Structure 1
């Protein structure tokens, strides 16, 4: 593994507990990211996230949870580590940082993975912001790769 880390970050104008819960509770997360989950994130447990529009699934293992501070997971193919870090900037503002690391790819394959993951996690945070701050489901993940996209 190399020491490369993908990072995406965003300030969300909502209280820390609400933003943290949006990643734990699939009833909220499905409003801005994946379409199905086998359950909430819990330390030591594995859930399956689905993106039905892409017929894609991922096993997500939660390594650690520090309430309102950190969610540490391992997921993907090949699997990598993904940490979600939360920082209260004020009672109504939370800063979220997603860090993805533990890549095994090299060369052009690594470059493509880094670009895809950076864009993907940025899209997730953009969707989270719209949903929590304005109650709008932008369908960003669903629209990222439309079915009728031509090469």
Structure 2
């Protein structure tokens, strides 16, 4: 049995704006990561840094379908898929799945943490795109101690 982390949220912005908010590092650093070595581009590889953690995370096997989907690997056992769906009111549904881990106690903890992490990503994306604010600012300072 494979575990799948899932999170979904509707964002009140057009699909092209949501897509760019995810692939453009100048935008992503305003709501989710603190640094990126480049944009998400098909076939590319890059590094992400989060302000709260000392490590840099390699992002590999990047695949994009403009204004439709984004996929990448940042854990050798999993694939992240982000699918965008335009709605008639010009809003966008964003669905994130991350799968590939086998069912065991350690991976159940991963499932809980990553499901919460992707829900946080979506909330941060929504807050930034709709209101221009960063929900991460000051949210994880306690983790540095």
TM over 0.5: yes
Q: Would you say 1:111 and 2:108 are equivalent positions?
A: yes
Task: Indicate the residue corresponding to 1:25 in structure 2.
Answer: 24
Deviations 1:34-89 (A, max 9, x none): 1100000111111000013311211001432111111111112x541000100001
Runs of 4+ in 1 over 2 A off after TM superposition: none
Residues of 2 paired with 1:90 and 1:75: CA distance?
33
- Write the distance in 2 (CA, Å) between the matches of 1:69 and 1:27: 20
Match of 1:136 in 2: 133
Number of residue pairs aligned between Structure 1 and Structure 2: 145
Q: How does 1:45-84 map to 2 (within 5 A)?
A: 45-76=44-75, 78-84=76-82
Normalising by structure 1, we get a TM-score of: 0.88
CA gap 1:112/1:143 in 2 versus in 1, 3 angstroms: same
Matched with 1:123 is: 120
CA distance in 1, matches of 2:107, 2:47: 25
1:30 and 1:36 in contact (8 A); partners too:
yes
Aligned CA distance change for structure 1 residues 111 and 144 (closer, same or farther; 3 Å): farther
In 2, Cα distance between the equivalents of 1:86 and 1:130? Answer: 17
Q: C-alpha distance in 2, partners of 1:147/1:115?
A: 18
Taking the aligned partners of 1:35 and 1:148, their CA distance within structure 2 comes to: 14
Structure 1 counterpart of 2:92: 94
Q: Which residue of 2 aligns with 1:146?
A: 142
